[in-house]
Structure 1
Amino acid sequence: MLLWINGPFGGGKTQTAHELRRRLPGSVICDPEEVGFGLHRMLPKPLRGDFQDLPAWRQGVYEVLDRTLTEYRGAVIVPMTVVEPAYFADTVGRLRERGHDVRHFALLADRETVLRRLRERNFGHAVRLVGGKDAPLRRESFAVAKLDHCLERLSGDAFGEHLHTDHLPVARVADRIAASAGLTLAPNTDGELRSRLRRAWTGVRQIRFD
């Protein structure tokens, strides 16, 4: 089974994916951004745009996930924002046509909630410490620029199942996804402090400077 965690940039996909992996024995995270970053590194900087526009990205994601789902027994967790219907068809749609059990969840929240989460993202603070207070936070800027478009697209029926997360902690979001998919998670035994530290560490691990 594949759990595709969609949502706006900064909407909690990565945190939710790691919570699911932590509490779902045998599961793995396959991050399609890795394919995109690899393609970007091959291209001269002036030619780098949205890697999702590259057919090679969509084909590569499909091939990697198809092989993983065919040969790996555990649940596969994919945190990735995809809002273009054609790109969704090239990835999620093709995997379903191949016969794989793909459960898709769009994490939605009010615009102000997503903006607050973006401001609080740990890697943004880390970049400021390294690059200075005026260092451009490219990923946050990109996320804000795309936010309204993402929320509008993902609210459509084609991108169900929808899960509104404004008032849900990460652990509860993971619980809802697992219940919908018929999966059983290990109990969440984290207290508030441990949960905060875990989310902070997950955020730090996502820092990228390329």
Structure 2
Amino acid sequence: MLLWINGPFGGGKTQTAYELNRRLPGSAVCDPEHVGFGLHRMMPPGLRADFQDLQAWRQGVYEVLDLTLRTYEGVVIAPMTLVEPAYFEETVGRLREAGHEVHHFALLAERETVLRRLTERGLGRGLKRESFAVRQLDHCLERLNEPRFAEHIRTDRVAVPQVADRIAASAGLTLEPNRDGPLRHRLRKAWTGVKHIRFD
């Protein structure tokens, strides 16, 4: 089974993916963004545009997830913003056509909520560090509200563990209980954020 966690940049995809991974024994996070990072590192900085526009990214994501789903016994979790319908069909659509059980979720929130989250992860530099995410925000929110990107989950007033609970219930999965208190939850969330900071 594949759980594809979609949403705008700053929408909580990575936090939710690792919460599911923590509470779902045997699961694995396979982040399609890493395929894009690898492609970017092969290119001179001046040529690095949106890696999703590269056929190599879409084909690579499909091949890696197809192989993983065919050979790995646990649930696979893929956190990735994907809002272009054609690209969605080339990846999520093709995986479904190949016979894989794919559950897709779009995490949605009000624009102000996403901007606040982006500011919080900006390492004290505000939204400057997240300029690409801010430029894409309105487009992402508009596209992700379309029916093709269902199932939609509103996250404005829902904590990450509760978002994970809703995803698991929809996919027919049983998570281990969340025993984190408020402080431990904040520390875990901060550590997940730190581990996924990129400097390139």
Structure 1 counterpart of 2:163, which letter?
Answer: V
Q: How far apart, in 2, do the equivalents of 1:178 and 1:20 lie?
A: 8
Is 1:49 aligned to 2:39, yes or no? no
User: 2:127·2:134 contact (CA, 8 Å) conserved in 1?
Assistant: no
Supply the distance in 1 between the matched residues of 2:127 and 2:147 (Cα, whole angstroms): 39
1:135 to 1:74, Cα distance in 2 relative to 1, 3 A:
closer
Q: How does 1:169-184 map to 2 (within 5 A)?
A: 169-184=159-174
Task: Give the SS at the match of 1:25.
Answer: coil
What SS does structure 1 have at the residue aligned with 2:95?
helix
Shift in CA distance, 154/61, structure 1 to aligned 2, threshold 3 Å: same
CA distance in 1, matches of 2:161, 2:83: 25
Other-structure match for 1:15: 15
2:198 matched residue in structure 1: 208
Q: Deviations over 1:127-186 (max 9, x none)?
A: x5xxxx59951xx11111100000000000010000011110000000000000000000
Q: Displacement of 1:80 after TM fit? A: 0.1
Aligned pair partner of 1:156 in 122, 146, 153: 146
TM-superposed CA distance for 1:208, in Å, is 1.1
**In 2, Cα distance between equivalents of 1:109 and 1:136:** 21
Letter matched to residue 10 of structure 2: G
- Residue 93 of structure 1 is matched in structure 2 by 93
What is the total number of aligned residue pairs between the two structures?
200
Q: 2:35 & 2:180 partners in 1: Cα distance?
A: 32
Q: What runs of 5+ residues in structure 1 fail to find an aligned partner?
A: none
1:76 is matched with 76
Aligned match of 1:32: 32
Alpha-carbon separation, structure 1, partners of 2:128 and 2:88: 30
What are the superposed Cα offsets for residues 58-107 of structure 1, whole Å, 9 maximum, x if unpaired?
00000000000000000000000000000000100000000000000000
Q: Take 2:15 and 2:162, find their aligned partners in 1: how far apart are those partners?
A: 12
Pick the aligned partner of 1:193 from 174, 183, 188: 183
**In 1, are the aligned partners of 2:28 and 2:74 still within 8 Å (CA)?**
yes
Report the counterpart of residue 3 of structure 2 in structure 1: 3
Correspondence list, 1:66-145, <5 A: 66-121=66-121, 124-125=122-123, 128=124, 136-137=128-129, 140-145=130-135
Q: CA deviation at 1:45?
A: 1.1
What is the distance in 2 between the residues matched to 1:157 and 1:102?
16
Q: In 2, distance between residues paired with 1:100 and 1:11?
A: 26
**What amino acid is aligned across from residue 12 of structure 2 in structure 1?**
G
2:183 partner SS: helix
**Structure 2 gaps, min length 5:** none
Give RMSD over aligned pairs: 1.2
1-side partners of 2:9 and 2:104: how far apart?
A: 16
One-letter code aligned to 2:32: P
